[in-house]
Structure 1
């Protein structure tokens, strides 16, 4: 298991309550949780509490591939931070920070060993950018 952390972030032009709600609401998650237009998130379950679980189905729109991205929350501080452990034991830490009328989201996650770090960074960043676009539309 790699102990290398990868960092991504984005500044969302929206108040923190709106950002928090859109990030954690399964109906919203299904709309933004993809890294490219040829993927989608057909289902999302989210029990946002310590010990609660989330499961988001990630699927190629052409039906060629799908997988569940899932984990268990280890820390939830409303309007501030979320930490979770993924099914493969990697961890992720998210921070939500008010910056005037905007909200900065920063994410630090454990790199996995199957794909290059830059590919992982780009994939996670693309999903975060998709979230930003969803909230700002």
Structure 2
């Protein structure tokens, strides 16, 4: 299946990327898969051969999260963020910064979980500080990576739903 059929990616302004994906699972379950470390570790693993050994989530406003991925050749990639707003099952707003900048800087990420019957539309809105940072994020192949991760999330939702 092509990513064009699973992800809708837009750039509504020079500072934003918005990615939407519909999941065949209830809103609370999709929200749990973003907020419970034991579930996040099962789908947010990265490319084939990678894993997420460090997944720390302090789910409260002002709380932080930390992810560190490990690759098959011993590579690592880390990311840290801080929760700005939490509305259980509806919204998560957090900062996000990678250990290796990749030119993206610090971004503000708003996850909106929208109930559509028994399904959930996830809208991921990323706000960058500059257009150059937004463009750098696009150039990293971030949306392709998100497509891979969302396919893994789809499989997990089927397993636990």
Written as runs of structure 1 = structure 2, the 5 A alignment for 1:43-62 is 43-62=54-73
- TM-score norm. by structure 1 comes to 0.86
- 1:16 to partner: Cα distance: 1.3
Compare relative contact order (CA 8 Å, sep 6+) and give the higher one, 1 or 2. 1
Contact 2:64 2:81 in 1 (8 A): yes
Structure 1 or 2: more strand by fraction: 1
> TM-score scaled by structure 2?
0.74
Please state whether the residue corresponding to 1:49 is helix, strand or coil. coil
Give 1 or 2 for the bigger CA radius of gyration.
2
Identify unmatched segments of 5+ residues in structure 1: none
**RMSD between aligned alpha carbons?**
2.0
| Greater mean alpha carbon deviation, residues 76-85 or residues 107-116 | 107-116
Return closer, same or farther for 1:23/1:113 CA change in 2, 3 Å cut-off.
Answer: closer
C-alpha distance in 1, partners of 2:138/2:21? 18
Q: Which residue of 2 aligns with 1:84?
A: 94
User: Unaligned regions of 5+ residues in structure 2, if any?
Assistant: 1-13, 98-104
